[in-house]
Amino acid sequence: MFRERVSNNIYVFTSEIYAQVTAGAIVTQEGIILIDSLPFPTESREMATFLARTNSPGVRYVVLTHYHADHSYGAYLFPNADIVAHAKCRDLLIKHGEPALKAAQAEEPELDEVTLRSPSITFDEGDLSLQLGGRVVRLIHTPGHTEDSIMAYIEDDRVLFASDTVMPVPTIADGDTDALRASLKKVIDLPIENLVQGHGEVILRGEVEVVVEASLRYLNTIEKKVAKAIKSGKGKEWLQRIDIESCGLSRIPLNGLVQQIHEANLVTLYERMIKDK
Ligand SMILES: [Zn+2]
């Protein structure tokens, strides 16, 4: 796990085991607000150990930015914290999260000790502000990557935990392209010093707009290319010819995962467009 401090008492933890997934912490005199929790117990525990050594009474809230395993599994290590999420996160954890955890545990003994924590504080409209020790963390619903996706914004520090709304390649296989576009536009509207992506490196102020614009352009491009393929009667296999570079992004980040996500995006769009025809 890689740890960095991005602002006064705001930390980012990046996994070295799984796809550079990130978690964050806002440390205050009255307790800690954790944003996501990493997937594997070794790293989640490493993060918990670091936080226990700060002069704060402990983790008070764990915000889950969405129900996906790589963001939510570590929450079980903070039994005294309230879990905060979008209302849909709760439903999705029960519906998809529980069976997925059982399947993952069968493959990965390290996950045996993981149990899913269900959110106890939820919101479904507008924003939700968490206030603790003089810090304010604004949670903003940003569907698109998933229905329940949220971002966490610390206005005083201009730090945005964008979660998977911003990552090296937008991911829509479990989400919705139009919703993701609208959520990406919400990102550009915020004044940002540091943007913490759901996966990958922290993005600094000067690059935020460039990165978000590239994501928007990517979504528009894949839609156009897939629509054209369908119109000219191409089969699903043909989609393999649409390489990610021709859609304006690089396949290099996240050790090959970006390429897999890109392929899944194309197939998802293809299937959706064929169905709507
Ligand atoms: Zn995700």
Domains along the sequence of the chain with CATH: 2-207 (3.60.15.10)
What are the pLDDT digits (tens) for 49-64? Answer: 999 999 999 999 999 9
Task: Give the distance from CA 138 to its chain's centroid.
Answer: 16
For the entire predicted model, the pTM comes to: 0.97
How far is residue 240's CA from residue 245's CA, in Å, rounded to a whole number?
12
Decide: residue 234, CB within 10 A, 0-12 exposed, 13-18 middle, 19+ buried: middle
Furthest C-alpha separation in the chain: 63
Cα(20) to ligand 1 centroid in Å equals 12
Cα(145) to ligand 1 centroid in Å equals 7
Q: Say if residues 142 and 151 touch (Cβ distance below 8 Å).
A: yes
Q: Which pLDDT score is estimated for 101? A: 98
Cα(93) to ligand 1 centroid in Å equals 13
Q: Which pLDDT score is estimated for 256? A: 86
Cα(213) to ligand 1 centroid in Å equals 20
Cα(174) to ligand 1 centroid in Å equals 9
Report which of 37, 87, 33, 86 is spatially closest to residue 57, judged by C-alpha positions: 33
CB atoms within 10 A of CB 116: 18
What are the pLDDT digits (tens) for 68-107? Answer: 999 999 999 999 999 999 999 999 999 999 999 999 999 9
Q: Say if residues 2 and 199 touch (Cβ distance below 8 Å).
A: no
Dihedral (C-alpha) 244, 249, 254, 256: value to the nearest 10 degrees? 20
The β-bridge relationship of strands 194-197 and 203-204 is antiparallel
Cα(165) to ligand 1 centroid in Å equals 9
Q: Which pLDDT score is estimated for 191? A: 98
Terminal-residue alpha carbon distance, the chain: 46
273 confidence band (pLDDT: 50, 70, 90): very high
What are the pLDDT digits (tens) for 140-168? Answer: 999 999 999 999 999 999 999 999 999 99
CB atoms within 10 A of CB 71: 27
Q: Which pLDDT score is estimated for 255? A: 87
Cα(164) to ligand 1 centroid in Å equals 6
9 confidence band (pLDDT: 50, 70, 90): very high
What are the pLDDT digits (tens) for 217-271? Answer: 999 999 999 999 999 999 999 999 999 999 999 999 998 899 999 999 999 999 9
Which parts of 41-138 fold into alpha helices (H)? 41-52, 69-72, 87-92, 98-107
Cα(246) to ligand 1 centroid in Å equals 24
Cα(31) to ligand 1 centroid in Å equals 26
Cα(55) to ligand 1 centroid in Å equals 31
Cα(167) to ligand 1 centroid in Å equals 10
Cα(146) to ligand 1 centroid in Å equals 7
Cα(29) to ligand 1 centroid in Å equals 31
Residue 138: half-sphere exposure toward Cβ, Cα within 13 Å: 13
Cα(168) to ligand 1 centroid in Å equals 12
Cα(50) to ligand 1 centroid in Å equals 25
3-state helix/strand/coil string of 22-45: EEEEEEECCEEEEECCCCCHHHHH
277 confidence band (pLDDT: 50, 70, 90): confident
Cα(68) to ligand 1 centroid in Å equals 5
Which parts of 166-244 fold into alpha helices (H)? 177-189, 205-231
Decide: residue 146, CB within 10 A, 0-12 exposed, 13-18 middle, 19+ buried: buried
Bridge partners of residue 14, in order along the sequence:
2, 22
How far is residue 60's CA from residue 135's CA, in Å, rounded to a whole number?
13
Mean pLDDT, the chain, rounded, equals: 97
